[in-house]
Amino acid sequence: MFAYDIYEPIGRKDEDTFPVIFALHGFGGDELEMAGRLELLMDRFVVVSMRGDVEYGPAYGFYHMVTEGDPNPREVDYISLRVAQFIDKICTDCISIDKEQVFLAGFDQGAVLAISIMQSYGGQYKAAALLSGRLPYYMEERPANLMLKDKRIFIGHGIEDAVIQISEADDIARLFEKMGCQVEKHRYFIGHNVNEAEEDDLYRWFESFLPNQPVKNK
């Protein structure tokens, strides 16, 4: 079981259900990292912000980093399964969640995990937002998940990212386009982080799943 924070819309009625975003932070982050980026959506979405259980000093990761090359595929697959099982449990236990409207949002390591989860279990999720992620080589070699046809994918990446090159965003886009997904790709004049412009695009993207419910301005 992962440590997590859950944010449910204030003033909800007992019978109300809401779409849910499961948020996965990056290497060296924690459960507060993604929650802050999704704050303006918390009046219409349940947000479950997870914490990886690999400790790096005062911060965390979801899997162990390697000095170069791709992460260990067995470890990523195992963590992906654990996250998928965690999502199932939270969706079962939390009565305010609409189980037909489950979204993933990940930054850095969290984006890699979200890609892996969509590849293996994506048929049960509505869509995924992938921020500053990368595509390990072994994911490109796996069979296409036909359940992903017409799923929507948001990809955001910094042009000046020196940690994960912008070309990785193109690789991720091609992977999901080959599986028939509707890919929306954005580039920003930033490094390995998320700025206000990307947050605004992300809000609008999530807002598009909620007709006539505009996101509040900052």
* In the chain, where the domains are located: 3-207
SS3 at position 137? helix
H/E stretch holding 101 reads strand 97-107
Q: How confident is the model at residue 218, as a pLDDT?
A: 46
φ, ψ for residue 146, nearest 5 deg: -70, -15
Assign a CATH topology to domain 3-207: Rossmann fold (3.40.50)
H/E stretch holding 164 reads none
Instruction: Express each pLDDT in 179-218 by its tens digit.
Output: 999 999 999 999 999 999 999 999 999 999 997 655 444 4
pLDDT at 148 over 70: yes
d(CA 97, CA 125): 13
Q: Identify which of 11-25, 57-71, 76-90, 134-148 has the greatest average pLDDT.
A: 76-90
Query: Which one, of 7, 68, 59, 50, lies nearest residue 28 by Cα?
Result: 59
Bigger pLDDT: 79 or 57? 79
d(CA 38, CA 23): 9
Q: What average pLDDT does the structure give for the chain?
A: 94
DSSP character string of 29-54: B-HHHHHHHTGGGTTTSEEEEEE-SE
**Length of the chain in terms of residues written:** 218
Pure H helices in 44-180: 73-93, 109-121, 137-140, 167-178
